[in-house]
Amino acid sequence: MRADAKPLSLRINGREVLVPCGISVAAALALAAPLGLTRHSLQGGSRAPFCGMGVCHECRVEIDGLRMLACQTTCAEGMKIFTDSLKTSSGGGSSAHSFSPFSKV
C-alpha cells in the first residue's frame, strides 16, 4: 500500500474518479462526494458507512455487478461502483426487490 503508487481510475455511478491506491470503496465514495452515501433506506433516508467493519451492511453497494460491502472492499483499477443499486436495495424480505429463500423468525 504505497502512497506514491499510481492513482486508480474507478467509475462511481458512471462518473470517472481517480483515487489513491489501497483505499477502501467506502473511502473512495467519500472522496467522490462529500457524504459518501451508499444507499437510501426503506423510508428514503440517506445512509452512509456506519459500523466500518462489515457488521451493519449500511455500506452495501454494487461493485462490478456484485453486491459488496464498501467498507470491506479495497479499490481496484477499473472498478464499476453503483450506489443505490437494485441489487442492494434490500437485505431482508420486505421490499419489492428482495428474495428471501428461508423464513426467519
**Residues in touch with other proteins (CB under 8 A):** 1, 3, 19-24, 26-28, 30-31, 35-37, 41-43, 45-58, 60, 66-68, 71-74, 90-94, 99, 101-102, 104-105
> 68 or 81: whose CB is closer to other proteins?
68
> 11 or 52: whose CB is closer to other proteins?
52
**Reduced DSSP (H G I as helix, E B as strand, rest coil) percent helix, strand, coil of the chain, to 5:** 15, 25, 60
Q: How far is the CB of 82 from other proteins (least distance, A)?
A: 16
Q: How far is the CB of 52 from other proteins (least distance, A)?
A: 3
> 11 or 98: whose CB is closer to other proteins?
98
Q: How far is the CB of 15 from other proteins (least distance, A)?
A: 18
Q: In one letter, which amino acid is 38?
A: T
23 contacts: CB under 8 Å, gap ≥ 6: 31, 74, 75
Neighbour count for residue 63 (Cβ, 10 Å): 22
Considering only CA atoms, which of 3, 36, 44, 38 is closest in space to residue 21? 3
